[in-house]
Structure 1
Amino acid sequence: MVEKIITLENVSLVEFLGPDNQNIRQLAAAFPGSKIISRGNEIKIQGQMPVIARINEILSSLIEHYHQYGAITDRNVSEYIAAADDEQQERIIATVSPADVIVFGAKGGVIKAKTPNQQKLVDTVMKHDLTFALGPAGTGKTYVSVALAVRALKNKEVKKIIISRPVVEAGESLGFLPGDMKEKVDPYLRPIYDALEDMIPAEKLKFYQENKIIEIAPLAYMRGRTLNNAFVLLDEAQNTTPSQLKMFLTRMGPTAKVMVNGDRSQIDLPTKQKSGLLQALDILRDVRGIGFVEMTAEDVVRHRLVKEIVYAYDRYDVQTQRDQATRPTRDLYRPHPDSRPESDFPTNGSTSLPVNREQQL
Structure 2
Amino acid sequence: MNIVIPGYDIEGGIGEGAMASVYLATQRSLERKVALKVMAAALAADPSFCERFLREGKTLARLSHPHTVTIHDIGSVGELYYMAMEYLPNGTLKERIAAGLTPEQGVTLIRQIASALGYAHAQGLVHRDVKPANILFRADGTAVLSDFGIAKSLDDRTQFTQAGFAVGTPSYMSPEQARGQEIDGRADLYALGVVLYEILVGKLPYTGTDALSTALAHLTEPLPELPVHHGRYQDVLRKLLAKDPAERFPDAAALLRALDQLPADSSQATLVRPLPIPLSFDLAGMTPVSIDIPTDKPQPQPVRQPVVTPTQHNAVSEQRRGPVLALAAVEVAVALAIGGASYW
Q: Taking structure 2 as the reference length, what is the TM-score of the superposition?
A: 0.22
TM-score by length of 1: 0.21
* Structure number with bigger Rg: 1
Q: Using CA pairs below 8 Å that are at least 6 residues apart, which structure has the higher relative contact order?
A: 1
Give the number of the structure whose residues are more often helix, by fraction.
1
